[in-house]
Amino acid sequence: MTVKGNLYTSYKEGFKNNLEGQFLYDDKGLNVTYRELDSETAKLANGLKELGLSEGDRVTVQVDKCIEMVYLYLACVRSNIIFHPLNPAYKEKELSYFLDDAKPSLFISNEETISSISDLSLEHSIDHLFVLNNDVMEYLMIFSLPTVVLDDNNVVGCIGHPLPLAQHL
């Protein structure tokens, strides 16, 4: 059996049959279709590429659960980038250990953690640091690209430039 693509390609095979079908919903009115899921993950995959991340790079995330983290996870899978989630309760000692061990190219966390990153005395420098809002309802997408050009399952380019909506330090 020959496998084409990656895990995201396998996921997307199931999307085709029902693009307007419900992927996720909650009791606060959030309703995400498979088409929206595919679009948002494509935007994020493009944003990661624009940052210079490529296959095998790591994205470490230490935030509370939210839909944007599902999008980011799938964008990483789509791009063959390693998604490395950390428990938001980890403090300096644990955080230092995991960041030094993983050597991420991108780290996403809350403002307090990102602003004190230099206090961790990491052996590895992290290329990109992003802050997400504390209020889960106000979490912002990391990147928004006006138009994404897709060729089958692959992101082949974009029109416009990445617009960081979260604070980039």
Model's pTM, two decimal places?
0.74
- For the stretch 18-37, pLDDT in tens is 888 888 888 888 888 988 98
d(CA 167, CA 15): 32
State mean pLDDT over 136-157: 37
Q: Which amino acid does the sequence have at 103?
A: K
What CATH number belongs to 7-168?
3.40.50.980
d(CA 53, CA 89): 27
- For the stretch 82-139, pLDDT in tens is 999 999 999 999 999 999 999 999 998 888 888 888 888 899 899 988 877 543 323 3
